[in-house]
Chain A
Amino acid sequence: MFSPRGPSQRQCRHLREGGNPQAVSRTDQTPESSAIRSPKRSWRETAAVAARLLALSIALVAAGSALVAAGSASGATGSALAVTGSTLAAAGSRMAAAGSRMTAAGSRMTAPDEVREIVWEELMPPGWNPLAVLDALRGNDPSDLDALPDSSPRAIELFNAYQEAVRSAPVVRELNGQKVRLPGFVVPLDFEGVEISEFLLVPYFGACIHVPPPPSNQIVYVKTVASYPLQGLFDPVWVTGEIRTDAYPNGLGDAGYTLQATIIEPY
């Protein structure tokens, strides 16, 4: 489409001095064509060059992002991907990886008003083991638990006891009032329009259909002021905010975790 239709000025001067005309255009079969191209046609050439440059820079960006993606399995992907395909991206990922390692190491030492990234294990008091209830119940019963049919009274009794244990699991009181950042899956409870305003944060997908449900200290009740548009139930999120372990006023069993979210972002 951009084929030249005639010799350029340069070529014409060449002609006047007696050289050979260069091969020209395949255009429509009109016999009439301008013998001299106007220099204005260079904008087309410029556009072609610009397009090539753009393609080249896109290729660079793609290559850089691939490098970043490969080199940042440590979870610093988010910050690294923000810098587009150049050596800066690679350097940035290295710096971010180092930074997150430092954060993990110094997590116990952060000041109270700094956001601390936590993992789900931290929500369970160390040494608490719901299965211990089972062991206590079984006592010296050597029978193989797996061999028991689900409907046998013994199995039901054990299971109900386990359920009780996890239904009112203890919380880690030291977390109360801390600003934390925790990833998890969303179980929507209430909407603001089509966006989520209240939800339960759980460590694995499908907590509402899995048997058994997570223990109550592995569920966080999250409320947020700015509602969040959840793309799908499968999408995990990072929730940042102040976590509380206050007891419920009704006094029925232990409290659970609640979190007032300030930031919710995709994982």
Chain B
Amino acid sequence: MAIVRLAFLSVLNRRVTAGLTLLAIALSIAMLLGVEKVRRDARGSFASTISGTDLIVGARSGAIQLLLYSVFRIGNATNNISWQSYREIADFPRVRWTVPIALGDSHRGFRVMGTSEGYFEHYRYARTESLEFAVGGVFDDVFDAVLGAEVAERLGYALGDSLIVAHGTGDVSFIEHDDKPFRVAGILTPTGTPVDRTVHVSLQGYTAMHVDWAAGVPIPGVRISAEEARTMDLTPETITAFLVGLDSKIAIFGVQRRINEYREEPLLAIIPGVALQELWDLMSVAENVLRVVSSMVVVTGLLGMLTVILSSLEARRREMAVLRSVGARPLHVFALFMSEAGVLALLGAAAGVVLLYVALLVGQPIVTREFGLHLPLAMPAPADWWIIAAVVGAGFAAGSIPAFRAYRLSLADGLSMRI
């Protein structure tokens, strides 16, 4: 259509101002879509992480906190659980299986988790998937380690390689268990869960590492070699948490209550699904705030565009008179200005999408490393298309304001040349 072509050429002619307006709209759309994407993918990442576990038990803290550190390896435990309490609860009626886990050490930025062989048998994710080995198998020796897929890939480990575990969970540690190297006995297939980023060792191995330590430091003058440690009784004294599977879902509440009321030690038993839902409910507050802010940014971008077009109206009255003289109707003038706004909004939206994907490309590995969030580079979801359509529509609608003013001006001016 002639008018749309004129609109396009007109915008092109004012490249600099149009470009700035475009940038504003693009940034706002990138922000809006980015918030939606992170929101969706974050939930997706979190949701598929654990299945089939009826209860998770840890030292008494907050439910979400326990969920985060035990399953997502985010944050830390406030305290540990005694082995005794664990064994007592493992013997409760209706408890079918338990898997103890010990956390606190790390290897080159990845968390090290001590656990039993039962972990590889009972841990499920994405409803029905269980852990599988790409190479190797579960622990045999005290100092065997099983690596998650990402650990092996990023650090370039293969079966048989040895690794040193560091004390503490920071990226850098000044204290290492260098006298007790571990051997890679197995590597898991990728799961898309925090399992990929974990180094799994046996509980005995975990205990062995700390057998000559006390209060978090090596005891001066006491050195127990790995060989010596193997011969000792390596039953742990404390663990960080344990997973529980019951024989009946109906029994969940009862067992949970019993554990929460356990008199020997302050414990907390959570239902993972409930804690996850509580996490969502918490996050949704932040999400809604972010959405509101992003929408405001979009509005600001559109207002900027409006201002630019409105302020150019005066200078374009001659142009409008020329158009009228060649037969353009006032409605054509209206359509011209509205199309300019629409073209800007459309181009801005396209630029915004491109911007978002560039940002994703750059930021994806960083986000996965720092937060454990997987942000797949997929096509925009249907909801995203609606958002884009809404913003473009709003752009057109906003354009109707200067368009209407131009319409009235062209009616008023007729063919007169206002100099």
Chain A positions near chain B (C-beta within 8 angstroms): 1, 5, 27-28, 30, 32-34, 163, 166-167, 187-194, 196-200, 207-208, 211-214, 216, 219, 221, 230, 232-233, 248, 250, 252, 255-257
Contacts and interface: CB of A to CB of B under 8 A. Distances in A.
Contact of A213 (B256, B277, B416): B256
Main secondary structure of the interface of B (DSSP, over half): helix
Given A189-B273, A252-B93, A256-B248, A27 B412 contact: yes
Interface string B43-58: 1100110011010000
A208 B47 contact: no
A190 B412 contact: no
Contacts of B273: 187-191, 196, 198-199
A230 B277 CA distance: 8
A208 B280 CA distance: 17
Contacts of B276: 188, 191
A164 to B, nearest CB: 9
Given A189-B271, A230-B277, A32 B414 contact: yes
Contact of B257 (A212, A248, A252): A212
B266 to A, nearest CB: 16
A140 B254 CA distance: 29
A192 B251 contact: no
B252 interface: yes
Contact of A189 (B249, B251, B280, B414): B249
Contacts of B93: 252
A187 B94 contact: no
9 contacts: A32-B413, A191-B273, A194-B43, A213-B256, A221-B249, A233-B274, A250-B247, A252-B248, A255-B248
B404 interface: yes
A198 B43 CA distance: 17
A194 B47 contact: yes
CB-based closest 6 A-B pairs: A188-B273, A256-B250, A213-B253, A194-B43, A221-B249, A191-B47
Interface string B394-419: 00000000001000110111101000
B278 interface: yes
B281 interface: yes
Contact of B412 (A30, A219, A255): A30
A89 to B, nearest CB: 30
Contact of B277 (A1, A33, A233): A233
Interface string B78-91: 00000000000000
Contacts of B248: 248, 250, 252, 255-256
A204 to B, nearest CB: 12
Interface in B272-311: 273-274, 276-278, 280-281, 284
